[in-house]
């Protein structure tokens, strides 16, 4: 009989995984189906009354400031208030599905900082044209340079078995390790040279770890000069870890790579009994004015390096 050549190994690079599900070994006894995204329990009447009062006071303060400015011919006051309301409205309607809960969270909840920065974020959308902000991306939607650098970082994470190096460092809650923050390399106990290279499109490199049954609340990211890249490093046997952006739910076992504009309302959940490890990467959003955008992102690094702890105050930071 003639000899046959051995079949070639399948391509398992991040680029090849971008459009296909991860293969997960199924145990003899199949696990239960993943739970649907959970809804918050209905708050108490006292909490509802407190929320209503907070919103009434907030609206009243803005209205009073605008009226007093108009009466006293200080027209810049109502002008500025109107400008921010308009920018916030244009920013908020990007969220799908758009409902009263989303609008309330944006203007009165965890989106207030995003609202305050909405003029800057809308300017980032204009500067980035003709690359229209799609909100959620596939790897192939990005320019070739972005794809190449993202793939290099993800390959390095797999080659170094980073999960094994982190397992003894994580806490019972949510943990984060940053190797690079807005372009600045940070000293850490885990040495992965590829994470400290100078990339043209990658500005932040880290790993976020959710221990079992840990999640974030619904929230908005503050800035839109960069996009967020998440890559799940290990499937969870019970397939109960996922990210939800608006009405879209993506389970990490179905698709390990997720790229999105994190100024959209989103939530990350781990409802499994296993730790969830995700690469956490920020990329400069695609644009045709690279020197200008790089300058803007560099300025953000200077401003935000000092408030890193504020953004992640509920996280345990791994050194």
What pLDDT digit, counting tens, does each position of 102-140 carry? 999 999 988 999 999 999 999 999 999 999 999 999 999
Query: Could you tell me the pTM of the whole model?
Result: 0.81
- Give the pLDDT of residue 65: 77
In DSSP terms, which residues pair with 157 in a beta bridge?
A: none
In DSSP terms, which residues pair with 185 in a beta bridge?
A: 180
Nearest-CA neighbor of 177 among 211, 219, 205, 214?
A: 205
- Give the pLDDT of residue 202: 96
- Give the pLDDT of residue 28: 45
Nearest-CA neighbor of 244 among 124, 97, 78, 42?
A: 97
- Give the pLDDT of residue 309: 59
**Domains of the chain in sequence order:** 45-109 (no CATH), 136-317 (2.60.120.330)
Tell me the C-alpha distance between 66 and 89, whole Å: 18
**CA 188, 190, 193, 196: dihedral to nearest 10 degrees?**
-30
Nearest-CA neighbor of 256 among 32, 22, 83?
A: 22
Task: Map residue 52 onto helix, strand or coil.
Answer: helix
CB neighbours of residue 64 within 10 Å: 10
Strand residue runs (E) in 65-143: 136-137
- Give the pLDDT of residue 7: 46
- Give the pLDDT of residue 69: 77
Task: Say whether the peptide bond before residue 130 is cis (omega within 30 degrees of 0).
Answer: yes
- Give the pLDDT of residue 26: 39
18-59 pLDDT, tens digit per residue, is 444 444 443 444 444 544 555 555 656 676 677 777 778 877
All residue ranges of the chain with pLDDT < 70 are 1-45, 47-48, 305-311
- Give the pLDDT of residue 235: 86
- Give the pLDDT of residue 41: 57
- Give the pLDDT of residue 71: 84
Tell me the C-alpha distance between 125 and 122, whole Å: 5
Helix orientation angle between 118-127 and 290-304, rounded to the nearest 10 degrees: 150
Tell me the C-alpha distance between 281 and 156, whole Å: 13
């Amino acid at each position: 009989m003639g000899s046959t050549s051995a079949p070639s190994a399948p391509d398992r690079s991040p680029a090849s995984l971008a459009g296909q599900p991860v293969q997960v070994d199924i145990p003899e006894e199949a696990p239960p189906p993943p739970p649907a995204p959970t809804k918050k329990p209905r708050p108490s009447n006292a909490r509802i009354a407190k929320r209503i009062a907070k919103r009434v006071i907030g609206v009243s303060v803005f209205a009073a400031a605008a009226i007093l400015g108009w009466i006293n011919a200080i027209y810049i006051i109502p002008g500025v208030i109107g400008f921010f309301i308009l920018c916030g409205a244009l920013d908020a309607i990007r969220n799908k599905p758009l409902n009263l809960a989303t609008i309330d969270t944006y203007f009165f909840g965890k989106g207030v900082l995003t609202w305050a920065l909405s003029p800057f974020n809308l300017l980032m959308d204009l500067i980035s044209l003709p690359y229209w902000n799609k909100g959620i991306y596939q790897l192939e939607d990005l320019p070739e340079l972005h794809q190449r650098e993202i793939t290099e970082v993800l390959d390095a994470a797999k080659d170094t078995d980073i999960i094994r190096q982190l397992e003894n460092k994580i806490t019972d809650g949510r943990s984060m390790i940053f190797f690079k923050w807005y372009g600045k390399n940070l000293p850490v106990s885990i040495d992965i040279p590829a994470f400290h290279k100078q990339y043209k499109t990658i500005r932040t490199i880290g790993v976020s770890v959710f221990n079992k049954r840990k999640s974030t609340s619904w929230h908005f990211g503050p800035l839109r000069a960069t996009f967020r890249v998440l890559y799940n490093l290990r499937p969870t046997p019970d397939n109960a870890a996922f990210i939800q952006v608006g009405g879209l739910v993506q389970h990490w076992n179905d698709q390990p790579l997720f790229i999105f504009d994190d100024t959209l309302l989103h939530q990350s959940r781990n409802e499994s009994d296993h730790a969830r490890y995700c690469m956490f990467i920020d990329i400069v959003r695609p644009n045709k004015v690279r020197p200008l955008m790089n300058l803007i992102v560099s300025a953000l690094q200077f401003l935000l390096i000092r408030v890193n702890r504020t953004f992640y105050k509920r996280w345990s930071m791994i050194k």
